[in-house]
Structure 1
């Protein structure tokens, strides 16, 4: 056979490079190659807070030589929900924070939803127009979305009066991109004009904020 192979000793025994980075060993029966057994993550687990995909590795070959493995991936996005207590709303049109506030824990894009039930009760005499709005707010950046969830609007004849309550459920969803650590919050506001009527109650009930990460 033409040519030579400098990696073979004169006896025909393979020469093993003695450097520490070489994991091969030489036994009387021949070369030994280290057996690698990869492992995955328990379902629903995560190695670190920044991980949003789990890698599952299953040894499908038993102790065959060579071994075979099945590799799969699962999304495990950061997510959560926080609820708050009922809050009262003054007739100022100003946004009032609820206790439904969550910290978006890591960098990425999130889908965030604020929910709550608004209610306004008024004594109408002779007219009134008042409405409760639900909003989603980022602390330090302000309102990023809102909607009217209930409204009381009446005009009565002179001398007439009545008492009425209105309520409605609402939800605001927005995508939020963050470098991590910002606070998203459900807020409420009461706006309008009671005129000569009387505001009896205006509230946001059962406020919640939901979030889940949808991309890095």
Structure 2
């Protein structure tokens, strides 16, 4: 599953530069030029990383960053500020508001990609490596092998993608609709109740041998991978 980047930037040239280089590096990029639209998209379909311009019309990047940090859905999403304001007081202010990193314009696309990878290693290490771990479960993104307590777990393709999505976002509750978009894809029509069927299959496969069930059902909300279940 590709790392998803939301770019909030009103300069078309920079948007095209960032999109071209990130997509070549196998990132999935969604871009908007309006801060309010960016806030809405970030809350509705939470990205893995947000690249945020400081100087935006109507709503500044600082205010957007402040609101993202106040929203439960986006409070922990890594944010990298993109700005021409290179003075130390500006950098400090951006970091104090809640940005995880600060890249000044003009910038090297290679440096930006390196900054994204570094932020992911610090903030969400599961997205930066080949192996995901949660309690006694490990998932290898290269070999597509899932182990639990040194026992190989056999999963179907959909159950594997479900588990990987949960392990990339431990503790977060996903609705059926969010899981359909993230695991099945936006362009595939599947009944929301289909998610329940695959969750049951995933639970059965993962919990053979009386293993603890880490998949939590949240009534009227959805599902989460949670060690406190």
TM-based fold match above 0.5: no
What TM bracket, shorter-length normalisation? under 0.3
Please report the TM-score for the alignment, with normalisation by the length of structure 1.
Answer: 0.22
**Higher RCO (CA < 8 A, seq sep 6+):** 1
Please report the TM-score for the alignment, with normalisation by the length of structure 2.
Answer: 0.21
* Rg larger in structure: 1
